[in-house]
Amino acid sequence: MSRPTTALVIGGGIAGAVTATALRLAGIDAAVHEAYPTPGAGIGGSLAIAANGLAALDLIGVGDAVRGIGLPIARTRMTVAGRDLGLLPQLPDVEPMRMVRRGELHRVLREHAARNGVAFRYGSRLVAVEEGRASITARFEDGDDATAEVLVGADGVRSTVRGLIDPANPGPRYTGLLSFGGRVRADVAFDGMTFAFGRRAYSLYWPEPDGEVVWGANLPSERYLSLREARAIPAEHWLRVLRETYAGDDPSGLLAERTTPATLDVTGAIHIMPPVPHWWRGRMVLAGDAVHAPSNSTGQGASLAIESGVELARCLRDLPEPGEAFAAYERLRRERVEAVARRGARINSSKTPGPVGRRLMQAVMPVLFRRMDAEKTMGPELRYRIDWAAPVLAG
């Protein structure tokens, strides 16, 4: 093998667009193949980009564009069963996270990638690969194919590429929570983001400059429902369930009451990826949620995907053959992403505590809150920076 000059990126979401752009900046011609038939299909809701994610976006020249579509969240607080625990500790010298609409983020990243020479092909669902001595060919459901020197699987938690690398891969784990969101006209007293552990379920909300309040609900559910399965159920059903679940929680109950079928965003099961044994094989490698999907509770899912795309491109730029580059990439990323995933798993357990657990949580959380060390808890995540200019060394 030798240093590659061409790459296929499977998946046109956040990880795919960032990885392809970073590869182009590293001197590797990258093309993106997306299974959905059109840009933005099925995309809804909002997500957080943390300071470390914004710093990684700066390396590929799109950080300010993302800041421009995002709402900075300078203050956060936590409530438990209506009790306000006050402001969460902040790192004063760290840039605040930005809340962005997922569809807008995809558009900005996709347009930036295209300006850097990345080609996108839609309705291009991967079904098989054929590896040669110096190349890899992707076969698509529509009968088309494409060949390059390496193939990056940035195709999400249900990754086809992960299965091709390792048919026995563990796959995503259901957290026991279904995700919903909405935008309503309402007044809330706090001008930042509130993490609200209610009487029966967790929610979060924040006001936007236009007078709307954006809110998200994590609904405990023993039944697993994919995005498609959850959206197949009428929105009116979900609104009844949400209103019953958050009744008595202020203001989450009001937000649920004011959400309409037209403003409800149904996103289905929340997943978390257990440690993936094999990140790469031969000329194939994984990036983003395909290899590390921490719970959305961490606020780091998109940021970690962005970091990994940039770091993968850096490794392929500097090391003489793909296997060596992939091994370095895994070595640089695995410990970090798995530590964040563990933190997310701990948070998820507090969202579905049961009646006894809720009472215990109400007693314990204020104590833990007062003792929280922001630098120790969040510093390693938020201060992380990739040195794009530094060469990657093998071993």
Angle between helices 14-25 and 51-59 (to 10 degrees): 40
- Over range 94-112, report the average pLDDT: 96
- Over range 46-59, report the average pLDDT: 97
Contact 266, 238 (CB under 8 A): yes
**Quick one: pLDDT band at residue 358, thresholds 50, 70, 90?**
low
Whether residue 160 is found in the same domain as residue 282:
yes
Place of tokens 């990885």: 19
Instruction: Specify the pairing of strand 173-185 against strand 119-122.
Output: unpaired
Instruction: Please give the pLDDT value at position 315.
Output: 98
Over the chain, what is the mean pLDDT? 92
Instruction: Please give the pLDDT value at position 297.
Output: 74
Whether residue 347 is found in the same domain as residue 295:
yes
The pTM for the full model equals 0.93
Instruction: Specify the pairing of strand 173-185 against strand 212-220.
Output: antiparallel
- Over range 138-145, report the average pLDDT: 97
**CATH number of the domain bearing residue 67:** 3.50.50.60
Burial 179-191 (b: 16+ CB within 10 A, else e): bbbbbbebebebe
Whether residue 109 is found in the same domain as residue 135:
yes
Percentage above 70 pLDDT, the chain: 93
Instruction: Please give the pLDDT value at position 394.
Output: 82
Is pLDDT at 50 greater than 60 in this prediction? yes
Instruction: Please give the pLDDT value at position 355.
Output: 61
Task: Report if residue 91 sits inside a domain.
Answer: no
Evaluate the omega torsion of the peptide bond into residue 207 and state whether it is cis, within 30 degrees of 0: no
Task: Report if residue 209 sits inside a domain.
Answer: yes
The size of the chain, in residues, is 395
- Residue 222 vs residues 268, 269, 334, 352, 363: alpha-carbon distances, Å: 13, 10, 30, 11, 26
Query: Among 253, 272, 291, where does a domain finish?
Result: 272
Q: Give the sign of the dihedral formed by CA 240, CA 214, CA 221, CA 289.
A: positive
Domain count, the chain: 2
Q: Which residues contact 125 (CB under 8 A, 6 or more apart)?
A: 35, 140, 141, 142, 160
Whether residue 216 is found in the same domain as residue 249:
yes
Query: pLDDT (tens digit, 9 = 90+) per residue, 228-246?
Result: 999 999 999 999 999 999 9
Whether residue 104 is found in the same domain as residue 243:
no
Angle (nearest 5°) at CA 275 between 273 and 279: 100
Largest CA distance in the chain: 64
Contact 247, 254 (CB under 8 A): no
Task: Report if residue 77 sits inside a domain.
Answer: no
- Over range 330-352, report the average pLDDT: 83
Is pLDDT at 212 greater than 90 in this prediction? yes
Whether residue 298 is found in the same domain as residue 245:
no
Is pLDDT at 149 greater than 90 in this prediction? yes
Instruction: Please give the pLDDT value at position 296.
Output: 77
Query: pLDDT (tens digit, 9 = 90+) per residue, 272-299?
Result: 889 999 999 999 999 999 999 887 778 8
Whether residue 143 is found in the same domain as residue 53:
yes
- Over range 10-26, report the average pLDDT: 98
Is pLDDT at 87 greater than 90 in this prediction? no
Q: What is the domain extent for residue 166? A: 6-71+99-172+273-351+375-382
Closest CA to 50 of 102, 95, 110, 18: 95
| H-state helical runs in the chain | 14-25, 51-59, 63-69, 102-115, 160-165, 227-232, 235-246, 252-258, 301-318, 322-351, 354-371, 374-382
Instruction: Please give the pLDDT value at position 90.
Output: 85
Contact 88, 368 (CB under 8 A): no
Task: Report if residue 23 sits inside a domain.
Answer: yes
**CATH number of the domain bearing residue 251:** 3.30.9.30
Contact 125, 74 (CB under 8 A): no
Whether residue 143 is found in the same domain as residue 62:
yes
Whether residue 301 is found in the same domain as residue 237:
no
Query: pLDDT (tens digit, 9 = 90+) per residue, 244-266?
Result: 999 999 999 999 999 999 999 99
